[in-house]
Structure 1
């Protein structure tokens, strides 16, 4: 009975964490468009890609890495590697038509993603290393911000910013009508799938 209660509590905590992540992602992808974002998207899209491996979430969590904190995970791996063979590489993770700012590690000669996921994800994926990105310290070194050619970069580069802005409005409307954040995410995914397949047959 005690084990069952512990399992339920763990599941509830995971759902709360997932709901918070979904809300933050929806909000963070709906920022205003800019010419800088559009130009950077085109430039980054032309860069070479590599294939990165991702160990299981269980293995990564057991090692001490944190969900969805890729930049810190890789920076700490590089700083604490006693052999000095680890390097943090920051670039872009293709996600549909969007490019998500992401960090992976090169350990020896292997490209590895050190960030466990709450949602099942492929154990191999394409990644775009960006040699023009640099990290700058802020708040006395408490935080770091990514810059490219002297400009602070957003957390994502979007091919169609207007779509994300519209999607946030639809998402907020679903939540306002009483759907949970996770339900709203699933409904949005279904409706997006239907829209993308209209007239495809």
Structure 2
């Protein structure tokens, strides 16, 4: 393996480790009755199938990895034909609903957001007509639902995410890299969570 390949692999592992740490933090918030009620409400909404164009096509078009809301805002605003509609809702991911934005164009649903890790070319998505984007005056626009600022996800098993975050921090405190710690947590608590009933 050449030096450039090894350097690229190291950089990629660092990026993935940082992403894993950021995701673990964003998913580890206390459970509330609001979250449980909202999860039930959202699950009653209709679902659509969304297609992901090839990553290289999205990157060539200037789409930003993991910045779905900005990508879809930009696509809708810059569409000369005005047929692209930014739709916010929930990506179904195992036992979680992830806050996500896609674009609907003439009845076709597309995800415009490149991923650092391999992702399915299609996924189930729940458009949520109750989400609105409001300018908070502190850091731009944010998604709200019935007056509540939305978290990154609605979780069926919130306690698992708190445990995974804590385990990730413990492993990193022992000297493990964020990438390796995330791999370890994924084969233990992550595997346990995947065995539970999905959404």
Is TM (by shorter chain) over 0.5?
yes
Distance change >3 Å, CA 196–CA 128, structure 1 → 2? closer
1:58 is paired with a residue whose SS is helix
Between Structure 1 and Structure 2, how many residues are aligned?
194
Distance change >3 Å, CA 30–CA 138, structure 1 → 2? same
Q: CA deviation at 1:8?
A: 4.7
Gaps of 5+ in 1: none
Gaps of 5+ in 2: none
Q: CA deviation at 1:38?
A: 1.0
Name the structure 2 match of 1:116: 114
Matched, 1:81 2:63: no
Moved more, 61-70 or 154-163: 154-163
The aligned runs of 1:1-201 (5 Å cut-off) are 7-139=5-137, 143-192=140-189, 195=192
| Structure 1 stretches of 4+ moved >6 Å | none
Q: CA deviation at 1:109?
A: 2.4
2:156 is paired with a residue whose SS is coil
Given the two structures, how large is their TM-score scaled by the length of structure 2?
0.90
1:26 is paired with a residue whose SS is helix
2:65 is paired with a residue whose SS is coil
Given the two structures, how large is their TM-score scaled by the length of structure 1?
0.89
Distance change >3 Å, CA 59–CA 5, structure 1 → 2? farther
Distance in 2, matches of 1:186 and 1:93, equals 23
Distance in 2, matches of 1:6 and 1:45, equals 46
Q: Whose RCO is larger (CA < 8 A, sep 6+)?
A: 2
